[in-house]
Amino acid sequence: MADRKLTIVIPALNEELGIEKTVRAIPTAEIDKIGYRTQILVVDNGSDDRTAELAARSGAEVVPEPSRGYGTALKKGFAAADGDVIVTADADATYPLEDIPRLVQILDSANLEFITTNRFAFLQGAAMSNRNRIGNAILSWTMRLLFRLRIEDSQSGMWVFRREILQNLKLTSNTPLSQEIKIEACHFARCRWREVPILYHPRSGKAKLGGWKVGTGNLIHLVKKRLCR
Protein backbone atom coordinates (compact mmCIF):
# COMPACT_ATOMS: atom_id res chain seq x y z
CA MET A 1 0.00 0.00 0.00
CA ALA A 2 1.34 3.39 -1.00
CA ASP A 3 2.21 5.52 2.01
CA ARG A 4 2.17 8.97 0.44
CA LYS A 5 -0.79 10.82 -0.99
CA LEU A 6 -1.32 12.87 -4.14
CA THR A 7 -4.23 15.30 -4.51
CA ILE A 8 -5.40 16.38 -7.95
CA VAL A 9 -7.30 19.69 -7.85
CA ILE A 10 -9.53 20.48 -10.81
CA PRO A 11 -11.41 23.82 -10.93
CA ALA A 12 -14.61 23.50 -12.96
CA LEU A 13 -17.20 25.97 -14.19
CA ASN A 14 -19.83 24.44 -16.49
CA GLU A 15 -17.56 21.73 -17.89
CA GLU A 16 -20.09 18.92 -18.42
CA LEU A 17 -18.52 18.17 -21.81
CA GLY A 18 -15.01 17.61 -20.47
CA ILE A 19 -15.18 16.71 -16.80
CA GLU A 20 -15.73 12.95 -17.12
CA LYS A 21 -12.97 12.55 -19.70
CA THR A 22 -10.66 14.59 -17.43
CA VAL A 23 -11.31 12.59 -14.26
CA ARG A 24 -11.22 9.22 -16.02
CA ALA A 25 -7.83 10.06 -17.58
CA ILE A 26 -6.18 10.11 -14.14
CA PRO A 27 -4.01 6.95 -14.00
CA THR A 28 -4.61 5.94 -10.37
CA ALA A 29 -3.06 2.46 -10.74
CA GLU A 30 0.19 3.93 -12.12
CA ILE A 31 0.18 6.62 -9.43
CA ASP A 32 -0.15 3.85 -6.84
CA LYS A 33 2.84 2.04 -8.39
CA ILE A 34 5.09 5.04 -7.75
CA GLY A 35 4.04 5.10 -4.10
CA TYR A 36 1.08 7.49 -3.89
CA ARG A 37 -2.59 7.09 -3.10
CA THR A 38 -4.81 9.41 -5.16
CA GLN A 39 -7.36 11.97 -3.99
CA ILE A 40 -9.32 13.70 -6.78
CA LEU A 41 -11.02 17.01 -5.94
CA VAL A 42 -13.25 18.76 -8.47
CA VAL A 43 -14.04 22.26 -7.25
CA ASP A 44 -17.46 23.04 -8.63
CA ASN A 45 -17.53 26.80 -9.11
CA GLY A 46 -21.30 27.32 -9.14
CA SER A 47 -21.91 25.38 -12.35
CA ASP A 48 -25.48 25.37 -13.60
CA ASP A 49 -24.99 22.30 -15.78
CA ARG A 50 -24.29 18.64 -14.81
CA THR A 51 -20.59 19.17 -13.95
CA ALA A 52 -20.91 18.22 -10.25
CA GLU A 53 -23.03 15.14 -10.91
CA LEU A 54 -20.71 13.85 -13.66
CA ALA A 55 -17.58 14.55 -11.59
CA ALA A 56 -18.97 12.51 -8.68
CA ARG A 57 -20.05 9.72 -11.06
CA SER A 58 -16.53 9.46 -12.45
CA GLY A 59 -15.04 9.00 -8.99
CA ALA A 60 -14.05 12.51 -7.86
CA GLU A 61 -14.93 14.22 -4.58
CA VAL A 62 -16.86 17.40 -5.35
CA VAL A 63 -15.94 20.51 -3.37
CA PRO A 64 -18.51 23.30 -3.82
CA GLU A 65 -17.26 26.91 -4.20
CA PRO A 66 -20.15 29.16 -5.16
CA SER A 67 -18.00 32.28 -5.41
CA ARG A 68 -16.82 32.30 -9.02
CA GLY A 69 -13.25 32.61 -10.25
CA TYR A 70 -10.31 30.45 -11.37
CA GLY A 71 -8.12 31.43 -8.40
CA THR A 72 -10.93 31.27 -5.83
CA ALA A 73 -11.76 27.75 -7.01
CA LEU A 74 -8.13 26.58 -6.90
CA LYS A 75 -7.50 28.03 -3.44
CA LYS A 76 -10.62 26.29 -2.14
CA GLY A 77 -9.24 23.03 -3.56
CA PHE A 78 -5.82 23.60 -1.94
CA ALA A 79 -7.48 24.12 1.45
CA ALA A 80 -9.40 20.86 1.06
CA ALA A 81 -6.39 18.87 -0.21
CA ASP A 82 -4.57 16.57 2.17
CA GLY A 83 -2.00 15.08 -0.22
CA ASP A 84 1.75 15.45 0.26
CA VAL A 85 1.87 16.50 -3.39
CA ILE A 86 -0.74 18.55 -5.28
CA VAL A 87 -1.33 18.42 -9.04
CA THR A 88 -3.64 20.87 -10.87
CA ALA A 89 -5.36 20.67 -14.24
CA ASP A 90 -8.34 22.25 -16.05
CA ALA A 91 -11.62 20.36 -16.29
CA ASP A 92 -11.67 20.56 -20.11
CA ALA A 93 -9.54 17.51 -21.02
CA THR A 94 -6.67 19.64 -22.35
CA TYR A 95 -3.84 18.70 -19.98
CA PRO A 96 -2.11 15.28 -20.17
CA LEU A 97 -3.17 13.70 -16.89
CA GLU A 98 -1.56 10.46 -18.02
CA ASP A 99 1.76 12.26 -17.43
CA ILE A 100 1.16 12.64 -13.68
CA PRO A 101 3.39 9.67 -12.70
CA ARG A 102 6.20 10.95 -14.94
CA LEU A 103 5.96 14.47 -13.50
CA VAL A 104 5.81 13.29 -9.89
CA GLN A 105 8.84 11.09 -10.49
CA ILE A 106 10.73 14.14 -11.79
CA LEU A 107 9.67 16.06 -8.65
CA ASP A 108 10.91 13.25 -6.40
CA SER A 109 14.05 12.18 -8.24
CA ALA A 110 15.31 15.74 -8.84
CA ASN A 111 14.31 16.74 -5.29
CA LEU A 112 12.16 19.62 -6.54
CA GLU A 113 9.40 21.50 -4.77
CA PHE A 114 7.49 22.98 -7.71
CA ILE A 115 7.02 21.93 -11.33
CA THR A 116 5.24 24.04 -13.90
CA THR A 117 4.54 22.76 -17.41
CA ASN A 118 5.20 24.18 -20.87
CA ARG A 119 2.45 23.69 -23.45
CA PHE A 120 4.37 25.45 -26.20
CA ALA A 121 7.01 22.72 -26.51
CA PHE A 122 4.91 20.46 -28.80
CA LEU A 123 1.92 22.71 -29.45
CA GLN A 124 -0.29 21.81 -32.43
CA GLY A 125 -2.46 24.39 -34.20
CA ALA A 126 -5.92 23.43 -32.93
CA ALA A 127 -5.04 23.22 -29.24
CA MET A 128 -4.68 27.00 -28.67
CA SER A 129 -6.27 29.91 -30.51
CA ASN A 130 -3.97 32.48 -32.15
CA ARG A 131 -5.31 35.09 -29.77
CA ASN A 132 -4.37 33.01 -26.70
CA ARG A 133 -1.00 32.17 -28.25
CA ILE A 134 -0.12 35.84 -28.79
CA GLY A 135 -1.50 36.86 -25.39
CA ASN A 136 0.45 34.08 -23.66
CA ALA A 137 3.64 35.06 -25.47
CA ILE A 138 3.31 38.69 -24.34
CA LEU A 139 2.49 37.72 -20.73
CA SER A 140 5.31 35.15 -20.53
CA TRP A 141 7.83 37.60 -22.00
CA THR A 142 6.79 40.27 -19.48
CA MET A 143 7.01 37.85 -16.56
CA ARG A 144 10.50 36.72 -17.65
CA LEU A 145 11.60 40.33 -17.86
CA LEU A 146 10.10 41.56 -14.58
CA PHE A 147 11.01 38.57 -12.42
CA ARG A 148 14.08 37.15 -14.19
CA LEU A 149 12.41 33.76 -14.47
CA ARG A 150 13.17 31.41 -17.35
CA ILE A 151 9.55 30.30 -17.80
CA GLU A 152 8.20 29.85 -21.33
CA ASP A 153 4.53 29.36 -20.45
CA SER A 154 3.38 31.67 -17.68
CA GLN A 155 -0.30 30.70 -18.08
CA SER A 156 -0.06 26.92 -17.96
CA GLY A 157 -2.57 25.56 -15.45
CA MET A 158 -0.83 22.25 -14.76
CA TRP A 159 1.51 22.34 -11.77
CA VAL A 160 2.93 19.64 -9.52
CA PHE A 161 4.14 20.76 -6.10
CA ARG A 162 4.66 19.82 -2.48
CA ARG A 163 1.70 20.94 -0.38
CA GLU A 164 4.00 22.26 2.35
CA ILE A 165 5.24 25.11 0.10
CA LEU A 166 1.76 26.73 0.22
CA GLN A 167 2.52 28.20 3.64
CA ASN A 168 5.27 30.31 2.03
CA LEU A 169 3.20 31.59 -0.90
CA LYS A 170 1.10 34.76 -0.87
CA LEU A 171 -1.68 33.87 -3.29
CA THR A 172 -3.94 36.90 -3.35
CA SER A 173 -5.18 37.00 -6.95
CA ASN A 174 -8.16 35.39 -8.66
CA THR A 175 -7.95 35.15 -12.47
CA PRO A 176 -4.13 35.70 -12.57
CA LEU A 177 -3.47 32.87 -10.09
CA SER A 178 -1.60 30.81 -12.68
CA GLN A 179 1.13 33.41 -13.13
CA GLU A 180 1.03 34.39 -9.46
CA ILE A 181 1.78 30.88 -8.16
CA LYS A 182 4.82 30.65 -10.46
CA ILE A 183 6.11 34.07 -9.35
CA GLU A 184 5.54 33.20 -5.70
CA ALA A 185 7.06 29.72 -5.80
CA CYS A 186 9.98 30.37 -8.16
CA HIS A 187 10.86 33.99 -7.40
CA PHE A 188 9.72 35.02 -3.92
CA ALA A 189 9.75 31.68 -2.07
CA ARG A 190 12.84 30.48 -3.98
CA CYS A 191 11.58 26.92 -4.29
CA ARG A 192 13.58 24.33 -6.22
CA TRP A 193 11.63 24.30 -9.48
CA ARG A 194 11.66 23.23 -13.12
CA GLU A 195 9.49 23.82 -16.20
CA VAL A 196 8.70 20.55 -17.97
CA PRO A 197 7.33 20.24 -21.56
CA ILE A 198 3.93 18.57 -21.98
CA LEU A 199 1.39 17.85 -24.72
CA TYR A 200 -1.70 20.08 -24.78
CA HIS A 201 -4.96 18.95 -26.39
CA PRO A 202 -7.87 20.89 -27.94
CA ARG A 203 -10.54 21.78 -25.41
CA SER A 204 -13.85 19.93 -24.83
CA GLY A 205 -16.63 22.52 -24.40
CA LYS A 206 -16.53 26.32 -24.42
CA ALA A 207 -13.66 28.45 -23.04
CA LYS A 208 -14.28 30.18 -19.69
CA LEU A 209 -11.09 32.25 -19.48
CA GLY A 210 -9.10 34.07 -22.12
CA GLY A 211 -9.84 37.17 -24.14
CA TRP A 212 -8.17 40.56 -24.19
CA LYS A 213 -9.84 41.62 -20.95
CA VAL A 214 -8.25 38.72 -19.03
CA GLY A 215 -4.94 39.32 -20.82
CA THR A 216 -4.87 43.00 -19.89
CA GLY A 217 -5.86 42.19 -16.30
CA ASN A 218 -3.02 39.68 -16.05
CA LEU A 219 -0.55 42.21 -17.47
CA ILE A 220 -1.60 44.80 -14.87
CA HIS A 221 -1.30 42.14 -12.16
CA LEU A 222 2.31 41.42 -13.23
CA VAL A 223 3.29 45.07 -12.91
CA LYS A 224 1.50 45.47 -9.55
CA LYS A 225 3.08 42.30 -8.20
CA ARG A 226 6.51 43.63 -9.21
CA LEU A 227 5.93 46.94 -7.45
CA CYS A 228 4.31 45.53 -4.32
CA ARG A 229 4.11 41.89 -3.33
Ligand X SMILES: Nc1nc2c(ncn2[C@@H]2O[C@H](COP(=O)(O)OP(=O)(O)OP(=O)(O)O)[C@@H](O)[C@H]2O)c(=O)[nH]1
Which residues lie near ligand X (CB under 6 A)?
11-13, 15, 45, 68-70, 73, 90-92, 128, 132, 157, 203, 207-210
| Choice between 128 and 185, CB closer to ligand X | 128
CA 83 to chain centre: 15
| Choice between 92 and 152, CB closer to Mg ion | 92
* Residue 113 interaction partner, one of ligand X, Mg ion, none, beta carbon < 5-8 Å per kind: none
* Residue 78 interaction partner, one of ligand X, Mg ion, none, beta carbon < 5-8 Å per kind: none
SS3 36: strand
The one-letter amino acid at 52: A
Sheet holding 159-162, edge to edge: 61-64, 36-44, 4-12, 85-88, 159-162, 114-118, 193-197
| Choice between 28 and 175, CB closer to ligand X | 175
Q: Where are the beta strands (DSSP E) in the chain?
A: 4-12, 36-44, 61-64, 85-88, 114-118, 159-162, 193-197
Smallest separation, CB 47 to Mg ion (Å): 15
Is residue 195 close enough to count as binding Mg ion by CB under 5 A?
Answer: no
Site string for Mg ion, 123-162 (x = CB under 5 A): ----------------------------------------
- Going by DSSP bridges, is the β-strand pair 61-64/36-44 parallel, antiparallel, or unpaired? parallel
Q: Which residues pair with 138 in a beta bridge?
A: none
* Residue 171 interaction partner, one of Mg ion, ligand X, none, beta carbon < 5-8 Å per kind: none
Nearest C-alpha neighbor of 127 from the set 97, 150, 96, 154:
96
d(CA 117, CA 197): 6
* Residue 45 interaction partner, one of ligand X, Mg ion, none, beta carbon < 5-8 Å per kind: ligand X
Smallest separation, CB 184 to ligand X (Å): 19
Q: Given the rule CB under 5 A, which residues bind Mg ion? A: 90, 92, 94
